[in-house]
Structure 1
Amino acid sequence: MARVSARLAAVEWYCAGLLLCVVFLLLLLNVVTRSLGSPLIWVDELAIYVMIWAALIGASIGIRNRDHIAMTLLTDMLPVGSRRALLIGVDAALLVFFAILGVILWNWFDPVGVLAAETLAEFSQKSFNFIYEEPTTTIAMRKVWFWLILPAFFLSGTLHAAANLATRLRGGEGER
């Protein structure tokens, strides 16, 4: 599991870097078109969505590398055995978070309901869930295409958190 997590993190690094380059290019395009007096209003919205994707991919990488901000005052004062138990609890709590996120996403995206409905309009009308039909403000696309980063984050974050917990349970990853 740790190898799969490491390979996924390598792909995520590439994707996050590429997305940040896209954000930079979109903002540069926005500066140029505004200075020429013909701003492209959709560029701002697209840059926001691309940045959200990059941020969630980066958060997944942070989970894999255990690089998120942490308060270590308590763990630094604990004896080694208690520290290890607390860190195992933190890794387990992260998995619980992802389990809750998975349930929320399953209910929100409702793939069973979508597949059972004859049309997206019928699904929206019966469930009052407009996730698949809500348009973006300026890009003229459905927002669901941008929200798909949430299930991707759920899957990658769960994999990284499970790999971290398994590694810690085997006695690896010391005090991080």
Structure 2
Amino acid sequence: MKKKIELLVRFQETLGMVLLSIFFLAILVQIIARYSAIPLLWTEELANYSFIWAVFMGASVMVHYKAHFAFTFFSDKFRGKKGAVYDVFISAVLLCFTVPMTLYGIRVVIEFWDYNWITLTWVKMGYTWLCLPIAGGAMTLYLAGHIAEDLRTLKSGEAVS
């Protein structure tokens, strides 16, 4: 399972980098087009939606690496079993966000599937919002893995640093 999770993380990192590159290229093309007085309306939409995807893919990866929002004041205070219990607590709190993000993300995708982009009418808005359930599902998977690992550590009695 860990190898599949690592593969998913690498895929999300790569996808995030590609989409961030598309964002920067779209901005660059938009700047050049404006100075050249060439109306390229699609660059703004492409930049916006590629940035949204990049942010959500990056957020998923950060959850995997435990680089998400946390109160470091407390995590620095707890070591050993208390640290593992605190990690389980933080992961459970984050699950209260990621599970609804996945479920409501699916609803958003279904709701907006038949809408189209304004400038690129052949692109469905459902593809744009597909990042919500994908990121939410990935975050949920990563958090479940963290919880399972912490519970194994607690059960075995090993100290967690």
TM class by shorter-chain length? 0.7 to 0.9
Aligned residue for 2:132, secondary structure, equals: helix
1:48 equivalent in alignment to 2:29 = no
Q: Which residue identity lines up with residue 145 of structure 2 in the other structure?
A: A
Alignment-derived partner of residue 117 in structure 1: none
> Which of structures 1 and 2 has the bigger CA Rg?
1
**Amino acid of the structure 2 residue aligned with 1:157:** M
The one-letter code of the counterpart of 2:47 is A
**Which amino acid counterpart does residue 22 of structure 1 have in structure 2?**
I
Q: How many residues align?
A: 156
Deviations 1:77-106 (A, max 9, x none): 345333321211111222232222233234
Match of 2:17 in 1: 17
- Read off the aligned partner of 2:10 and give its amino acid letter: A
TM-score with structure 2 length normalisation?
A: 0.84
Could you list the per-position Cα deviations for residues 106-126 of structure 1 after superposition, in whole angstroms to 9, with x for gaps in the alignment? 44455xxxxxxxxxxxxxxxx
Q: Is 2:87 aligned against 1:136?
A: no
Determine helix, strand or coil for the equivalent of 1:90: helix
* Residue 134 (structure 1) shift: 2.5
Amino acid aligned to 1:159: L
* TM-score for both structures, normalised by structure 1: 0.77
Equivalents in 2 of 1:26, 1:5: separation in Å?
Answer: 31
Q: 1:116 matched to which residue of 2? A: none
Residue in 1 aligned with 2:38?
A: 38
The one of the two structures with greater contact order (alpha-carbon pairs below 8 A, sep at least 6) is 1
1:167 paired residue among 135, 149, 154: 149
Q: Please, which runs of 5 or more residues in structure 2 have no aligned partner?
A: none
Identical positions, percent: 26
